[in-house]
Structures are given as structure tokens and as C-alpha cells.
Chains A and B, each alone.
Chain A
Amino acid sequence: MTFLLFAEQMLNGLQFGIMLFLMAAGLTLVFGVMGLINLAHGSLYMIGAFAAAAVAGATGSFVLALIASLAAAAAAGALIELTVIRRLYKRDHLDQVLATFALILILSEGTRWVFGSFPLYLDVPSYLSGPVTLPGGIQYPLYRLAIIVAGLVVAGGLFALIARTRIGIQIRAGEADREMIAALGIDISRLYTLVFALGAALAGLAGALVGAIQSVQVGMGEPVLILAFVVIVIGGIGSIKGALVGALLVGMTDTMGGVLLPRFFALFLDPSAATTVGASLGSMLIYILMAVVLIMRPSGLYGSA
């Protein structure tokens, strides 16, 4: 494998990891602070993408589309928290899974009802389209570089928010001891709505960013949701740092595994068998990674035991 191909694949892995982080950050925050399993997180990703596609279609502006995705997903998140999720905090995880699974069905069919059954059009804006040549002669799509940068900026912002602001202190305190911060006079229900909306907004942003290079369609969030769960389990539930490390690990493993394994098997198998075996094992690799991490550290890389 040439250096160019290898470098391009590393960038692909990095970009995929960053995307996963945007999804996983919200999921892990909600789980860490509220102890809630939210299966409908993928639907918020979908809502973000649809909102972006609708606004981009109406105005032609990609920036407005991104703002719309943040706003729509945050609004949907807040609404869901106020109407449904709020009743679930005291219930056990099975009830939460059932209720949020119902939300997936309702939101999917609701989206179909509003936007129809056919995929929507959302494209990369012209100033970000096409490939650029990086030092070393690597040809790489500019838009994917932009995703990497945007993701890193969001990650930095999130860390600053958690580590340095009053809200961040409250979030961390909420993770540590829910009853205590309520006793200290913090409006816990307002904090929960805020955290949920924040997580939803991040998912919506991820949906809009990815929607421009993928297909904006009903049900687009569920495959990503599964990976996001793998990420937070690897990283340790509730840890933003864990989500970042886990996301990058999963992104790299998935991309490089899918590329390298077929080549590895081609050394001693015939080509078509090698691609089949390699591709199958490649898609299992992240779950193997998860199993290994859980054996070594049962509460994840950065999880509190």
C-alpha cells in the first residue's frame, strides 16, 4: 500500500471518528447526567439533516442550513424531554428503552408524513466542494477536511463548556450526585432539559454535516446510533473525553480494518474469498475492539467504576 493511500485512509478514519464523536457526546452526556438510555438519539440526527435539507432547499445557504439543523434538533430535543423523557427518569432502563424506541417509530413516520418517502437533496456548498491537494501530494475532499475542523472546534467548545462554565460545573455535579445538587438549590429539571437539548443539537449538527455527503432519508440515524453506543461503551459511559477517544478509536479501526484486512487475507487466500472474508471480519472489528476493551476495563476507558 502506498503512502498516499495510507494517509488518505487515516484522514478518512479521523473524519469518521469526529462524526461519531458528535453523536456520542450527546448520548454519553444524557446517560451520564440523567441515567437515561435514549434510543431516539438517532432520530434527532435525522431531524437535523431534514431541517438542513429543507432550509438549504428554500434559501440556498449552507450556513443557514447548519443553524437550522442545530435549532430544529435542539427544539425537538427540548420538546421530547418535556413531554416524554421527563416521566422516565425514575423508571428502570427497560421502560426507557421501550418509550424511546416508540419515539423512533413516531419520529420516523412523522418525518415521512411531512417530507414524503423519497430521499431529500442536500449538497456540499460550492465553496467547500471538490478535492484539495495536501502537503505530500494527498488529494482529499475539502468538505471532509471541513468536517474534521468543525468537529474539533465543537469538541474544544464542549470541553471548555464542561470544564470552565457554571453550567459545566452543574453538569458534572449532576453526574456525581443528583440529589445533592437538587438540595443545593439548582433547578435540576431545567438542567436536564438543557443537557438533553444540547445533546440533541450536537446530533442534529452531525446529521446536517453528514447529510450533505450522504443520503437524507427516513431511518438514516439508526445505523449511526448503534456505532455511537459502541463508542460510549468503549469510552466509558458519561465521559466526554472517553467519547472522543472511543470515537476516534472506532473510526480508525473501522476504516483501517476494512482496508487492511482484505489485503492481509489476500496474502494466502484467492482474491474473491479474501475480499469476502476481509470485509466480513472488517465489519466485526469494532465489536471485537469493544469486547477487548470491556475485558480489560469493564467500565470503559475513562468510565468511573
Chain B
Amino acid sequence: MKLTKLAMLATTALLAAGAAMAEGKVKVGMITTLSGGGAGLGIDARDGFMLALKLSGSDAVEVVIEDDQQKPEIAVQLADKMIQAENVDVLTGIIWSNLAMAVVPSAVAQEKIYLSVNAGPSALAGKGCHPNYFNVAWQNDNLHEAAGAYATKAGYAKTFILAPNYPAGTDALTGFKRFYKGELAGEIYTTLGQTDYAAEIAQIRASGADSVFFFLPAGMGISFMKQYADSGVGLPVVGPAFSFDQGILQAVGAAALGVVNTSQWGKDLDNAANQTFVAAFQQEYGRLPSLYASQGYDTANLLLSAIGKADIADKDAFRAALKEADFASTRGDFKFGTNNHPIQDIYVREVIQEGDIFTNKIIGVALEDHVDAYAAECKM
């Protein structure tokens, strides 16, 4: 009995101490993927975020970082811990849509602000939108829509499309078809995590297609591109930036040269914020930034801009300050739509080689001031 009392006292004291420490500072809980096959994405987003905080010289933000191991149940546990024990004000960092769906709805319902550095599932952009949820990256469909628009503009009339059989994969093909006007030579859903695409490539060869669109993030894309290049099929390829971002291009190698991909960001975007970001990132971490890093960087700068304008304790004022998006984005123009998702240009990039390094060069704009397809369904 005595012991229980003592434990309770200690806990209360600790909680009070925690609350006192948080005062005056905005406490951010970052849940992201730092181990396993998808770690490269989370590490880039985290490094971009921390770089922005460092460059700002501001000590107004305290960050707690945890690894979700790309597992929804772990992400939920971490979110509970951060909300209940760490008492964070803002959550951020989740890369994967299935993890975001597990964490975001309950976090925003508990009056926490959630800033998405990457995942943008359609369910959170339409009917499920929330005043406490801000997506700083894109709605999931966006880059695929841009790829569809590009394919139409490039005059492709018979595209073969493939994506993994999971929610973001179906979103991808839906997004592509929304802006693609030609006919489809074929449509395949592959297994999530599949590494051998010989069967799919044989079908592409036999289909009489004039081009290929694929959404295969991370390692799946590396495997597909290497095998595709080796198969001698040789049709032009279009894809979203996820399969051609800086983190994986070196592993794909020359097989990716000349491939066209769509992105809301590129390292050669000509604006001051981006130049500062790219140079500082290279200096700090010794590698080129990826789009995930740019998203993390923008997220931190958005947060800092809101902290400069409003007190986190006044939730209404803070949300309004976030919504203004009054920060210098690495993407140039950036503003939030009615559903707190970005309205932004989406560019067409081409994979090139600079010395020994494979990277992307922007060659055009696919969609200007693009608003996602679900904004109208959001009643907020």
C-alpha cells in the first residue's frame, strides 16, 4: 500500500516536471521509420527536419524522435506514449499511409496538431479531413496524376500500368488514370514487397504497349528498373519520384538514365530557400537531399513560422498561423487548400548523370497549382 502511494507520488512529480519543462517550448513528437528496409525514407525526412531547426538557430522546439519500424501497431504505441507520457504538442514524421491511418485520426481527435511529412492517404484529404491535420507533402494521388498528365502530353496512347496491391497502389493507378487520356495496354497489381518482376515484364513485352507507368516505392522500384533495363523491352518509362529519388538512384544505376518522373520538388529548383537547403544538407550529411528530406525541411520551417506568430496554447490562433503557410518553401510557391493539403506545382524530372552521381533534372511542369481531387469532399 505504502509502496503504491510512493509510486503514485513519484509519477505525479515526474509528470509535473515534464509539464514544467515543456512550458515555453513547443514539444514535437516525431514517429518515423529508422530501421528495416524503408529506413532511408524516414532518415531523410528526419535529417531534413532537424536541419531546418538547426539553421533557424531557434530553441523554441524540442523534438522527441522514435522509430516505428514501419509497423502500424508500433506507431500507435509510440503515439500513445508521446501524447500521454511525453505530453507533446505536435506530432509528425510518419512516412507510410497505413501507419498514418492508424495514428493520425486518434491523435488529431485528442487535440494534437499533426504535420504530415510524407503520407497523404485520400481518406484524410476528403471526408476524413481535420482542422488539426496538415499535410506538407502532397495528397497520395498527386504525383501519379501528374504522371498521367505527362503521358497524355507526351502523346502516349497505349500505356501499361502496374502498382503493388495495397491502398497506396490502387490510389496510384486511380490517380494516373484520372489524367491519362490514352488507352491502357494492361493493368497489373503486383504483390507488396515483390522483388522479381520477370513475369510482369514478359507481359509488358507481349502487350504491344508504347510506354510503361509504374509505382513501386523503395526496393521494389530498384528491382523492377534493373530487370526492366536488362530485359531489352526498352519502352519509355514514366513514374512518380518515389522510384527515382536520390536515396535509391545510386542503387538503380545507369538503368534509370533518361527515365521521366514527376515530383513537387527537385534539387535544381531555382529559389533561394532551395539553394540554401541543398547546400546545407550536403554540408551537414555529406549526401544529396531527396524529396523526403525536402518535405521534412519544409515541415520544420512551417512549424517555426507558426510558432513565430502564435502561442501553441491558443489552438485556434496556432492553426490559423499554420494555415497561412508563411514560410519559404524549398518548392517555391506553397499554400494550403481548404482541406489543409498543399496547392502546388508538380514538375517533370529526368534522371541524369552528374559525374559519378545519378540525379534528377527538372525538364518541365506537369500540373500547375494543382489541387487534389478530394478537397471538395472536405467539410471543415
User: A144 an interface residue at 8 Å Cβ cutoff?
Assistant: yes
**Docked-complex contact A219 and B223, CB < 8 angstroms:** no
**Cα of A2 to Cα of B189 in the assembled complex, Å:** 21
Partner of B187, one of A144, A255, A275: A275
**Cα of A119 to Cα of B40 in the assembled complex, Å:** 8
**Docked-complex contact A219 and B37, CB < 8 angstroms:** yes
Chain B residue with minimal CB distance to A2?
B206
Residues of A within 8 A of B205 (CB): 5, 8, 139
Chain B residue with minimal CB distance to A255?
B199
Residues of B within 8 A of A123 (CB): 226, 253-255
User: B7 an interface residue at 8 Å Cβ cutoff?
Assistant: no
Residues B199-244 near A (CB distance < 8 A): 199, 202-203, 205-206, 218-220, 222-223, 226-227, 230-232
**Docked-complex contact B195 and A223, CB < 8 angstroms:** yes
Chain B residue with minimal CB distance to A140?
B231
**Cα of A258 to Cα of B197 in the assembled complex, Å:** 11
Could you give, for residues 132-161 of chain A, a 1 whenever the CB lies within 8 Å of some chain B CB and a 0 otherwise?
000000010101100000000000000000
User: A233 an interface residue at 8 Å Cβ cutoff?
Assistant: no
Among A9-17, A79-87, A175-183, A187-195, the one that faces the other chain is: A9-17
Residues of B within 8 A of A165 (CB): none
**Cα of A215 to Cα of B203 in the assembled complex, Å:** 22
Partner of A283, one of B191, B223, B226: B191
Chain A residue with minimal CB distance to B226?
A213
User: B152 an interface residue at 8 Å Cβ cutoff?
Assistant: no
Q: Main secondary structure on chain B at its contact with chain A?
A: helix
User: A131 an interface residue at 8 Å Cβ cutoff?
Assistant: yes
Residues of A within 8 A of B232 (CB): 130-131, 139, 141
A218-B37 CB under 8 A given contacts A118-B247, A275-B189: yes
**Cα of A131 to Cα of B250 in the assembled complex, Å:** 23
Chain A residue with minimal CB distance to B220?
A215
Chain A residue with minimal CB distance to B206?
A5
User: A271 an interface residue at 8 Å Cβ cutoff?
Assistant: yes
Interface size on B, residues (CB 8 A): 40
User: B165 an interface residue at 8 Å Cβ cutoff?
Assistant: yes
Partner of B203, one of A5, A120, A130, A212: A5
**Cα of A1 to Cα of B205 in the assembled complex, Å:** 12
Residues of A within 8 A of B220 (CB): 215
Partner of A279, one of B191, B226, B230, B251: B191
**Docked-complex contact B40 and A9, CB < 8 angstroms:** no
CB distance from B273 to the nearest CB of A (A): 25
User: B64 an interface residue at 8 Å Cβ cutoff?
Assistant: no
**Docked-complex contact B251 and A16, CB < 8 angstroms:** no
Residues A10-41 near B (CB distance < 8 A): 12, 15-16
Partner of B165, one of A117, A121, A280: A280
User: A102 an interface residue at 8 Å Cβ cutoff?
Assistant: no
Partner of A223, one of B193, B199, B254: B193
User: A61 an interface residue at 8 Å Cβ cutoff?
Assistant: no
**Cα of A272 to Cα of B177 in the assembled complex, Å:** 12
A276-B39 CB under 8 A given contacts A5-B203, A118-B250: no
**Docked-complex contact A215 and B222, CB < 8 angstroms:** yes
Residues of A within 8 A of B34 (CB): 117
**Docked-complex contact A215 and B195, CB < 8 angstroms:** yes
Residues A211-240 near B (CB distance < 8 A): 212-220, 223
A144-B219 CB under 8 A given contacts A131-B232, A213-B230, A218-B39: no
Residue of B35, B195, B198, B255 ringed by the most chain A CB atoms within 10 A: B198
Residues of B within 8 A of A259 (CB): 199, 202-203
**Docked-complex contact B206 and A4, CB < 8 angstroms:** yes
A215-B189 CB under 8 A given contacts A141-B231, A220-B219: no
**Docked-complex contact A219 and B36, CB < 8 angstroms:** yes
Residues of A within 8 A of B305 (CB): none
A279-B190 CB under 8 A given contacts A118-B250, A123-B253, A215-B219: yes
A117-B39 CB under 8 A given contacts A5-B203, A215-B195, A223-B193: yes
**Docked-complex contact A118 and B251, CB < 8 angstroms:** yes
**Cα of A220 to Cα of B193 in the assembled complex, Å:** 9
CB distance from B186 to the nearest CB of A (A): 9
User: B196 an interface residue at 8 Å Cβ cutoff?
Assistant: yes
Could you give, for residues 99-128 of chain B, a 1 whenever the CB lies within 8 Å of some chain A CB and a 0 otherwise?
000000000000000000000000000000
CB distance from B230 to the nearest CB of A (A): 5
**Docked-complex contact B195 and A214, CB < 8 angstroms:** yes
Residue of A12, A124, A217, A259 ringed by the most chain B CB atoms within 10 A: A217
Given A12-B202, A123-B254, A214-B222, 19 other A-B residues pairs in contact with their CB atoms under 8 A: A5-B202, A12-B198, A12-B199, A108-B36, A117-B43, A118-B40, A121-B253, A131-B230, A144-B198, A213-B196, A213-B223, A213-B227, A213-B230, A215-B226, A218-B39, A223-B195, A271-B187, A279-B191, A283-B191
Q: Can you list 26 contacts pairing A with B, beta carbon distance less than 8 Å?
A: A2-B206, A8-B202, A9-B199, A9-B202, A15-B198, A117-B40, A118-B250, A119-B222, A123-B226, A130-B230, A131-B232, A141-B230, A213-B223, A214-B195, A214-B196, A214-B227, A215-B248, A217-B37, A220-B37, A223-B195, A262-B188, A275-B187, A275-B189, A276-B165, A279-B189, A279-B191
B interface residues, Cβ below 8 angstroms from A: 34-37, 39-40, 43, 165, 187-191, 193, 195-196, 198-199, 202-203, 205-206, 218-220, 222-223, 226-227, 230-232, 247-248, 250-255
Question: Nearest 10 CB-CB pairs, A to B?
Answer: A215-B222, A131-B232, A119-B251, A215-B219, A12-B198, A219-B37, A214-B223, A117-B39, A5-B206, A8-B202
